[in-house]
Structure 1
Amino acid sequence: MKYILLSLYLLLGAATFAQQPGMVNPDAQYVKDNYTKFEYQIPMRDGKKLFTSVYVPKDQSKKYPFMMDRTCYSVAPYGAGYKGSLGPSSQFAHDGYIFVYQDVRGRWMSEGIYEEMTPELEEHKTNKDVDEGTDTYDTIDWLLKNIPNNNGKVGVWGISYPGFYTTTALLSRHPALVAASPQAPIADLWRDDGWHNGAFFLVANFGFYPGFTNRQDDKPTQRRGGRFNPGTEDGYDFFMKMGPMKNTNDKYYKDTIRLWNEMIDHPDYDEHWKARNVLYHLHDIKTAVLVTGGWYDAEDLYGAINTYKTLVKNNPKTPIYFTMGPWVHGGWARGAGDHLGDVDFGGPTGPFYRENIEFKFFSHYLKGTPMDVAPVNTFQTGVNQWKTYKAWPPAQAQQKELYLLPGGKLSFNAPTGKKDSFDEYESDPNNPVPFVADRNQTMDMQREYMTADQRFLSTRKDVLSYQSDVLDKDVTIAGNIWANLSVSTTGTDADFVVKVLDVYPDTAANNKFTGKDVKMAGYQQMVRSEPMRGKYRNAFDKPEPFIPGTVTPVNWELQDVLHTFKKGHRIMVQIQSTWFPLIDRNPQIFTNIMKANESDFKQATHKIYTSKQHPSFLKVRVM
């Protein structure tokens, strides 16, 4: 998915129009007819210059606000070429703005050395104390003074990495920055794209860095990085043959990619990653903010949700808006957003966001137009309805516990028996559980996995399932889910993956998006899922081993949802300890997994306890 977004930026110039083969971007000619393109090297306070493309309306009879996108994915095309579209959506180009696109420091045609998720500084005592916040401040100051016919107001937006740069734009605290929309923003690289609770997201990162790494020096270039070619789409087979994580360098990258090595060298949440957590700095913000994300964003769900929650907590007087739809990474910016895989969302959702939320937000703060947008706009999956709230999670959502019970049962009633019951399974890292049914679709992070039918795992003995009775009424969960497991293992480390599923009744009918040879009757739709690397159960920065055979609590957050399990459906929870190659394999011994040898990988028996004295349950918020 990282590489998918990178390709979109390079090939479409960050366009939001989803082109199909043989189609022509309808905005391309409009942009050329109505805008003049300029290119600048804008000086920063430390003397470095950042390459910036500026598209100015040819109609100079009125003043325009700025809309800016700072990116590490290139502002191409360079020179005489024009972007095929401008702004977050087509409406912006037709309404008239001064559009600014900037290569961030150390990327493409900008000077400097690139830092992934540049550490932000709380103080800037000298001109050498620079970060993305100061670079944004200096850019805005230059634009206000050098681009004619501007109205003195600036808006910033961006998706994924550009979403991070939008968040850091808030840290410029420039008075002219009046509106910003971090969309799927990376907030904490260790927690967003790199590791989920310590489990390394292998397919999302392995193929990304060769293409992303087009330069590692202070020499501006238009040269693109080369994509790694594995020679197969069967990532399950490829990564099994690759062996331990250290073989990524021994066999392929040969220590030539600095950013990849930073990930290999820092598997724990150490100071390297803490310095790159932008959430620590989101205070004293005066700019109006619209945070946008997708419920099925496999990369930066954490970033969107926690950017919003942090901003609201630390800046109670600032207008902060939040939108979550049924989208994959960046899915709101292009296309209909009407389905994901086999799951139908009841109609287009992307256009609603672009027209009624995003456009109105920026138009209001940059041009003074009326705006009727609720503080929180969220799409309720399961019933396919937009809901508005004053805050997220909704105040009326009440916390409840959903217990795993003996016999594969799932209930809101706690276990009552005196016997210390448990279920156990043998986890073999040399026969890991696949994350999708088709192994020929595992060389990349298939976005459809987040709603995919889990019946393909029904014969696996290393996947536990707990299922509720048929629901006699709708059950709506709104807010974050916490897994609270009581476990034991014969090893000294273990991963645990918890998946929350919506099990359809046998009477469920197919829809127009249902795949070939798929039946929605009995479909086990994944609603939310997250792994946990057990050695980080007490602290992400201080891993510690399990004591074999000892019952141990392992608790972690599965992130937020707004989903209705409809009457007649069932709720299911699945637990497993491998999820390959979505996440890397755990040797199941306490060691540095990035440096582990093939001989370190051991089978282990894991127990999940379901008793009154050692309960396992999910904490959920029920409407």
Structure 2
Amino acid sequence: MKALLRSGIAALAAGVLATSAAGGEHTYKELPSEIPAHFAPTNPGFDFERRTVDIPMRDGVKLHTVILVPKGAKHAGMLLTRTPYGADGMGHRGDSPHLGPTLRGYDNPADVIVQDGYIRVIQDIRGKNGSEGDFVMNRPPIGHGNPTAVDESSDIYDTIDWLVKHVPESNGKVGIIGISYDGFEAMIATIRPHPALKVAVPINPMIDGWMGDDWFHRGAFRQQMIPYIYGMVNSRRSDIGWTSGFRDDYDLYLHIGSAGDIGRAYGMEALGFWQKILAHPAYDGFWSEQALDKIAAKEPMTVPTMLVHSLWDQEDNYGDMAVYRALAPRDPDHRKLWLVIGPWRHAKTWEKADHIGAIDLGSDTGTMFRQRILRPFLAQYLKDDAPKADIAPVNAFVTGENVWRKLDRWPSSCRSDCPPTMHRWYVEADGGLGEAVPAAGADEYVSDPAKPVPYRLRPIQPWSHGVPDQVDSWPEWLVDDQRQFATRTDVLTYVSPVLEQPMGVAGEPLVHLLASTSGTDSDWVVKLIDVYPDEVEEKPSVGGYQLPVAMEIFRGRYREGYDKPKALTPGKPLEYRFPLPTVNHVFQPGHRVMVQIQSSWFPLYDRNPQTFVPNIFNAKPGDYRKATQRIVRDGENGTYVELPVTQ
């Protein structure tokens, strides 16, 4: 009986399982996907065609490339930009079928591209976003710093070679343009270039990361670039964001400690480029051998190149002028090299640019540059039927006067050869500044690393994110009113009498400090400032404004050589000589000339502990000590700023 019962139960269970399986197959089967395996948009009403292709390089690595071809294009020039910031994003906006709005944004001269019918090409550089391969920050040219068979120049060569063979709508002529990192790509394209590369426009390019572009300035580390390094190197698509938990970067960086401590707190030991930064705090061969101005100076000049410099560039205000100084003597007939100097911050060239911060520039300088300078320059080399462009070798905007000048060379104050003359402006007792040789004396202040001088009004937001008002204004901090710092006890301020005549300056002001410190290391920050009259009738809001014309920092340990850090002798007056960034400015009658001197500029630059340590990235809390700083007046040998005064 039990056996029969067990047999019946087993049969019933088997039937239930079979029914469940059959029912389950019917009940739980997935519905068909409503997304097709491949979808090709019809793009109704579009005035361009968007193509994406992975272009093979000589080593087999494929680079993701976006090609935007105007509808009906024939025999069109191609304008290339190579970027680590995402070619898909730079070459795509889904809310417009028109090429102009699609391109509007970072690193796209949309108006020029549309007006002259260029084929726009945007490419992810090796190792970033959609491109294969390994990413190396500012990958050096093949040679001592790069023993491989490929570099950015070879990738550009191979890309251009593919483009001229596979884009039938083109005329076989290629230009390259870019800002910042993309400007670095535009400059390095001129090294061993493809024959089809007809023109290059590096705008605010990264040229020498130690001397005065993104990573250091005269030895002082640009600490607020840490989040940029973090984001660029932590992943192929830069999709791991920086977080801080502080509203004020001043508090964040002061709380953690040295720049090295910040990197360790964020796990940056795993990031290859960060390890290079830590290992090379001085200007050794690692930096000097990859500086593009030095490399370009040794190469043939075959590609017509227009360097574009911004007078208030908060990121890269060194490199383009260094390239110009290196190459201009080799081009006396003005056939390969042009220079534009504009009243802009970094990457302002694609915008209207009639103001910078609180300063009215008097005209739409951005549109003027694009339409009257850039457009005919590109057309001459990229369009089959374009006339020779009538563009001066140097086009320089004069701030303070708000006019463009056409010059044969830089620096110059007139169309022919009128070089500026250097005039010394000495610091004087009681905060004066003048051209007369002063009596001997000194002024002093106490520099406290626990209370460093901020570089702008607090709270200081990260340049990459934060509250909108600070993020929107950060790119123009170099024109911030300096009154907020003039009354600090750790900032010395020297100001001239009211000017009775206009005074133009063009070129690099030179700083000559005679200074001592009670410590064994020190930073020196020098600011050249245009002080507005107390009342400005046409614009009352700038009454008394202290407009920075040029500002720079110098790390004292490099006084005897940028590759030779050396402790300072406490209490001994020592000479420090260094240039300020390029200026092209007129101090108007009724204005005054001001110089400010301080020993920290935080948190943009890391704090000097004021105690000599082999590597400041590894400074310990006990190394950070107060120091008494003395600025010495000693007749003609004392402290002064040499200004390149125009006629």
Give the TM-score, by structure 1 length: 0.88
Q: Is residue 633 of structure 2 the alignment partner of residue 620 of structure 1?
A: no
Per the alignment, residue 249 of structure 2 pairs with: 235
Per the alignment, residue 111 of structure 1 pairs with: 132
Which residue of 271, 275, 285 maps to 1:257?
271
Cα 1:176–1:449, aligned 2, differ >3 Å: closer, same or farther? same
Per the alignment, residue 222 of structure 2 pairs with: 201
Which residue of 76, 84, 87 maps to 1:72?
84
Per the alignment, residue 85 of structure 1 pairs with: 103
| Unaligned ranges ≥5, structure 1 | 1-28, 216-220
Q: Is residue 258 of structure 2 the alignment partner of residue 244 of structure 1?
A: yes
Q: Is residue 367 of structure 2 the alignment partner of residue 351 of structure 1?
A: yes
1:474 CA displacement: 0.3
Which residue of 276, 295, 298 maps to 2:290?
276
Give the Cα–Cα distance (whole angstroms) in 1 for the partners of residues 364 and 446 of structure 2.
44
Does the 8 A contact of 1:510 with 1:520 survive in 2?
Answer: no
Per the alignment, residue 301 of structure 1 pairs with: 317
Does the 8 A contact of 2:128 with 2:135 survive in 1?
Answer: yes
- Spell out, residue by residue over 1:499-521, the C-alpha distance to the aligned partner (whole angstroms, 9 max, x if none): 0111111222363xx8xxxx422
Q: After alignment, is 310-319 or 297-306 more displaced? A: 310-319
1:66 CA displacement: 1.1
Give the Cα–Cα distance (whole angstroms) in 2 for the partners of residues 137 and 151 of structure 1.
17
Per the alignment, residue 481 of structure 2 pairs with: 453
Cα 1:488–1:377, aligned 2, differ >3 Å: closer, same or farther? same
Per the alignment, residue 121 of structure 1 pairs with: 142
Per the alignment, residue 181 of structure 2 pairs with: 161
1:319 CA displacement: 2.5
Give the Cα–Cα distance (whole angstroms) in 2 for the partners of residues 269 and 224 of structure 1.
28
What letter corresponds to residue 254 of structure 2 in structure 1? M
Does the 8 A contact of 1:496 with 1:578 survive in 2?
Answer: yes
Superposed, 1:373-412 pairs within 5 Å as 373-394=391-412, 395-396=417-418, 397-412=420-435
What letter corresponds to residue 83 of structure 2 in structure 1? T
Q: After alignment, is 562-571 or 147-156 more displaced? A: 147-156
1:32 CA displacement: 7.0
- Spell out, residue by residue over 1:297-353, the C-alpha distance to the aligned partner (whole angstroms, 9 max, x if none): 01111012112222223444533111111111100112x212222221123211111
Give the Cα–Cα distance (whole angstroms) in 2 for the partners of residues 461 and 78 of structure 1.
47
Which residue of 51, 63, 69 maps to 2:75?
63
Seq. identity, %: 37
1:31 CA displacement: 11
Does the 8 A contact of 1:210 with 1:225 survive in 2?
Answer: no
Which residue of 455, 465, 474 maps to 2:502?
474
Per the alignment, residue 595 of structure 2 pairs with: 573
Cα 1:443–1:99, aligned 2, differ >3 Å: closer, same or farther? closer
CA RMSD of aligned residues (A): 2.4
- Spell out, residue by residue over 1:359-416, the C-alpha distance to the aligned partner (whole angstroms, 9 max, x if none): 111011111423222111111111211111111111421122221122222112223x
What letter corresponds to residue 386 of structure 2 in structure 1? T
1:121 CA displacement: 3.0
- Spell out, residue by residue over 1:452-480, the C-alpha distance to the aligned partner (whole angstroms, 9 max, x if none): 11111233111101111111100110001
Cα 1:49–1:532, aligned 2, differ >3 Å: closer, same or farther? same
1:577 CA displacement: 0.3
Q: Say which SS state the counterpart of residue 542 (structure 2) adopts.
A: coil
Q: Say which SS state the counterpart of residue 332 (structure 1) adopts.
A: coil
Give the Cα–Cα distance (whole angstroms) in 1 for the partners of residues 44 and 343 of structure 2.
30
Give the Cα–Cα distance (whole angstroms) in 1 for the partners of residues 295 and 538 of structure 2.
47
Per the alignment, residue 179 of structure 1 pairs with: 199
Q: Is residue 557 of structure 2 the alignment partner of residue 535 of structure 1?
A: yes
1:279 CA displacement: 1.3
1:214 CA displacement: 5.0
Give the Cα–Cα distance (whole angstroms) in 2 for the partners of residues 456 and 186 of structure 1.
31
Give the Cα–Cα distance (whole angstroms) in 1 for the partners of residues 589 and 221 of structure 2.
37
What letter corresponds to residue 291 of structure 1 in structure 2? L
- Spell out, residue by residue over 1:275-299, the C-alpha distance to the aligned partner (whole angstroms, 9 max, x if none): 3211122131211111112111011
Q: Say which SS state the counterpart of residue 452 (structure 2) adopts.
A: coil
Give the TM-score, by structure 2 length: 0.85
Q: Say which SS state the counterpart of residue 387 (structure 1) adopts.
A: strand
What letter corresponds to residue 414 of structure 1 in structure 2? V
1:593 CA displacement: 0.7
What letter corresponds to residue 149 of structure 1 in structure 2? E
Per the alignment, residue 341 of structure 2 pairs with: 324
Per the alignment, residue 49 of structure 1 pairs with: 62
Q: Say which SS state the counterpart of residue 103 (structure 2) adopts.
A: coil
Which residue of 380, 392, 407 maps to 1:364?
380
What letter corresponds to residue 55 of structure 1 in structure 2? L
1:193 CA displacement: 0.5
1:184 CA displacement: 0.4
1:620 CA displacement: 1.8
| Unaligned ranges ≥5, structure 2 | 1-41, 465-470
Give the Cα–Cα distance (whole angstroms) in 1 for the partners of residues 125 and 437 of structure 2.
53
Does the 8 A contact of 2:234 with 2:271 survive in 1?
Answer: no
Q: Say which SS state the counterpart of residue 486 (structure 1) adopts.
A: strand
Does the 8 A contact of 2:93 with 2:103 survive in 1?
Answer: no
Per the alignment, residue 133 of structure 1 pairs with: 153
Per the alignment, residue 625 of structure 2 pairs with: 602
Per the alignment, residue 549 of structure 1 pairs with: 571
What letter corresponds to residue 53 of structure 2 in structure 1? Y
1:58 CA displacement: 2.8
What letter corresponds to residue 208 of structure 1 in structure 2? Y
Which residue of 120, 123, 127 maps to 1:99?
120
Per the alignment, residue 438 of structure 1 pairs with: 458
Q: Say which SS state the counterpart of residue 311 (structure 1) adopts.
A: helix
Structure with larger Rg? 2
Report how many residues are paired.
Answer: 576
